């Protein structure tokens, strides 16, 4: 990508660019994620248009092969965990954030939301939490995982609680490489997500 992705942060402009940049299936996923992200933003006091943009661009690097992602991670000087070395597709979040930065995006919270949409992070903003959760609960995720409706309901009132539940699913799911690649849930050596801190707070820690 050589042109600036975001000149004026407009979902309409972003949609046109993403439609050209992404594979059709990935773009459809981004659209569904954006719809959920917008709903979550309204419920949690985040700028709905900004949440929509973050969701639209979160998978910008998903089109790259595993070899290309490893090469791009090296190009951008990104650390590669043992899990990412084994499943390089997980790198598309970090690589995507760097691509967006290189293309002219200067919104650091938006870049963090893209970077953290697979693994979460220790100090996630509301925008990051929304992007993380929306990616996991958009309607087509039901093709891979049942029982997401309670998480969807919870996400509307408690993002940290939803992240806790999604992370618990991720720990179970991570035993299967195929599941990890299809779901994008948190991997075993990922940094702690806000739900982990939330659990300690609820336990009085």
**What is the pLDDT confidence band of residue 176, given thresholds at 50, 70 and 90?**
low
Q: In this predicted structure, what is the pLDDT of residue 174?
A: 57
161: pLDDT strictly greater than 60: yes
If pLDDT is split at 50, 70 and 90, which confidence band does 65 have?
very high
164 within some domain: yes
The CA-based angle 165-167-173, given to 5 degrees, is: 110
- Which domain covers residue 192, as residue numbers? 11-202
| CATH label of the domain that carries residue 81 | 1.10.3210.10
Q: How far is CA 109 from CA 64, 101, 136, in A?
A: 24, 12, 19
For the segment 174-187, the average pLDDT, to the nearest whole number, is: 45
Query: Is the sign of the CA dihedral 168, 174, 175, 180 positive or negative?
Result: positive
- Place 155 in a pLDDT band, splitting at 50, 70 and 90: very high
The pLDDT of residue 31 is above 80: yes
Q: What is the mean pLDDT of residues 136-165?
A: 92
| Structural domain includes residue 85 | yes
Q: Is residue 5 part of a domain?
A: no
* Number of CB atoms found within 10 A of residue 204's CB: 5
Is 3 part of any domain?
A: no
Residue 4 lies in a domain: no
Nearest to 186 by CA among 133, 141, 145: 133
Q: How many domains does the chain have?
A: 1
Q: Which two tokens stand for residue 137?
A: 């609960």
The pLDDT tens digits of the residues spanning 185-202 come to 443 334 344 433 333 332
Per-residue model confidence (pLDDT) at position 182: 41
Residue 117 located in a structural domain: yes
On whether residue 1 sits in a domain, the answer given is no
Q: Tell me whether residue 89 is in a domain.
A: yes
| Sequence-ordered alpha helix ranges (H) in 58-103 | 66-75, 82-86, 92-103
């Amino acid at each position: 990508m050589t042109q600036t992705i975001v000149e004026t942060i407009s979902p309409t402009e972003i949609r046109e660019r993403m439609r050209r940049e992404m594979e059709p299936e990935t773009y459809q996923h981004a659209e569904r994620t954006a719809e959920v992200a917008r709903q979550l933003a309204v419920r949690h006091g985040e700028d709905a248009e900004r949440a929509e943009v973050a969701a639209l661009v979160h998978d910008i690097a998903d089109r790259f092969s595993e070899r290309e992602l490893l090469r791009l991670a090296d190009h951008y000087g990104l650390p590669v965990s043992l899990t990412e070395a084994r499943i390089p597709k997980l790198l598309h979040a970090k690589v995507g954030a760097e691509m967006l930065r290189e293309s002219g995006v200067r919104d650091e919270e938006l870049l963090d939301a893209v970077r953290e949409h697979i693994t979460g992070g220790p100090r996630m903003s509301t925008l990051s939490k929304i992007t993380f959760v929306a990616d996991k609960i958009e309607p087509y995720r039901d093709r891979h995982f049942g029982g997401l409706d309670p998480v969807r309901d919870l996400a509307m009132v408690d993002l940290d609680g939803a992240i806790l539940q999604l992370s618990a699913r991720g720990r179970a799911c991570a035993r299967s490489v195929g599941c990890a690649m299809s779901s994008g849930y948190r991997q075993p050596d990922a940094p702690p997500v806000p739900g982990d801190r939330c659990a300690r707070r609820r336990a009085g820690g």
